Amino acid sequence: MATAVSLPVPLPAAAAPGLYMHIPFCRYVCPYCDFNVYAGQGELIPAYVDALAAELALYADAYPNTRDAATIFIGGGTPSLLSPGQIERLIDAAASTVGVDGDAEVTMESNPDNLTVDYCRELLAAGVNRLSIGVQSLQSPGLKVLGRLHGAAGAAAAYHAARDAGFTNISLDFIYGWPDQTRAELDADVDTILEWDAEHVSLYALIVEQGTPLSTAVRRGQLLPVDDDTVASYYDHIVERLGGRYEHYEISNWARDANARSIHNQIYWQNGRYYGAGAGAHGFLGDTRMSNLRLPASYIESVHSGELPIAMTEEIDPELSASETLMLGLRLLRDGVSAVDFETRHGTSLQTRFGTLIDRFLALELLEFRAGRLRLTERGALVSNSILAEFLP
């Protein structure tokens, strides 16, 4: 597998948290989606934006000594259902409550069918500096089986609208391994990725999640999922083809160079801290992981009663924290986990804590130690799920 070469880049302000804001509204719920999203509730958007701003103020009161956020990620759902004015309100509310670094990465997810040049220009003026576009596929059978509302021409128009508006940091989301996808269809999508040359690409294998309409169709035999061996061979093929142009820095993520990596997602993979605002959002502050009430109406009501709308918390003990640092860090194929940083952070060495397992995977050449960093090998990346699961306490 060929890969472009660049050095690991430390996060700016590594200890600063990220800020995730969840927009749980979609025009239509895609049949494969199991996110916390709702169609037909668009009339709640103005009250929801108010509630998000109020929740950020509650966070600022509850965590007064936290550093300013290094990143904002407005995800969904479909954030591009919000007006640029509403997006600006959220960014401004974050700056005036929890605080945001002046040079923060500010990402917004979008659906191709919402993007015009004017809309994108207004997003830039509102403070969004990185746009993530949910293309998923440009092949008609893929778009149909994934239940997407846009066509290939609409996705291309959206990408070029973002460029024409002046976005210089664009990420594309694609899905592969959808039912009946052929190698030729996969290649056609990869051809377009290479032709568009966006700064960043995420490619995820389709997962048939329980309880979704897609899983019902599979159970009834109406759709046949691509088998695991084919998905693995597709992944290998993608790695091979994108490697000449992109840095494969995380299992499912490629960046045109080290500066184009997602700073926000690297906070997750480095087991960093982040606020999670919005219905069903997950946060991690101090030693506590938390998740919010899922229903937008309940979330809005809770925030307006003056309480953080937290539904569940989990204290992360030192043992689990060490496992999480390793499991998440190994996803970073270039950086892996620094042995020195691990020991400084967790007060125990990688060898003391995980020696037997690490030695086993080193012997199998699924892990490697290079320049003081433990990483997945190329072969290890192909079976990463089973390797990472072994490090759970």
- Residue nearer to ligand SF4 on the CB measure, 212 or 351: 212
How many degrees, rounded to 5, is the angle at CA 199 between CA 196 and CA 204?
Answer: 85
Among 17, 18, 77, 142, binds ligand SF4 (CB under 6 A): 77
Beta strands in 55-112 (DSSP E): 69-76, 100-110
Q: Is 267 in the site for ligand SF4 (CB under 6 A)?
A: no
Residues 71, 273: Cα–Cα separation, whole Å: 11
- Residue nearer to ligand SF4 on the CB measure, 35 or 63: 35
- Residue nearer to ligand SF4 on the CB measure, 111 or 169: 111
Give the range of 28-36, 342-350, 354-362, 366-374 binding ligand SF4 by CB under 6 A: 28-36
Residues 147, 237: Cα–Cα separation, whole Å: 25
> What is the nearest approach in angstroms of ligand SF4 to the Cβ of residue 223?
17
> What is the nearest approach in angstroms of ligand SF4 to the Cβ of residue 35?
5
Residues that bind ligand SF4 (rule: CB under 6 A) add up to a total of 11
Q: Roughly how many angstroms between the first and final C-alpha of the chain, as a whole number?
A: 32
Q: Is 76 in the site for ligand SF4 (CB under 6 A)?
A: yes
- Residue nearer to ligand SF4 on the CB measure, 277 or 387: 277
Nearest to 293 by CA among 312, 311, 275: 311
- Residue nearer to ligand SF4 on the CB measure, 23 or 333: 23
Q: With contact defined as beta carbons under 8 Å apart, do 34 and 67 qualify? A: no
Which amino acid type is present at position 68?
D
- Residue nearer to ligand SF4 on the CB measure, 30 or 131: 30
In this structure, the number of other CB atoms found within 10 A of the CB of residue 133 comes to 26
CA dist list (Å): 267 to 18, 271, 273, 379, 388: 7, 6, 7, 25, 18
Q: Is 26 in the site for ligand SF4 (CB under 6 A)?
A: yes
Among positions 113-172, residues that touch ligand SF4 (CB under 6 A) are 134
Q: Given its phi and psi angles, is residue 288 left (phi above 0), alpha (psi -120 to 50 degrees) or beta?
A: beta
Give the range of 74-82, 160-168, 185-193, 242-250 binding ligand SF4 by CB under 6 A: 74-82
Give the range of 31-39, 81-89, 224-232, 289-297 binding ligand SF4 by CB under 6 A: 31-39
Strand duo 310-315 + 337-338: pairing: unpaired
Q: Is 262 in the site for ligand SF4 (CB under 6 A)?
A: no
Q: Is 19 in the site for ligand SF4 (CB under 6 A)?
A: no
Distance, CA of 369 to chain centre:
27
Name the DSSP class of 316: -
Q: Contact positions toward ligand SF4, by CB under 6 A?
A: 26, 29-30, 33, 35, 37, 76-78, 111, 134
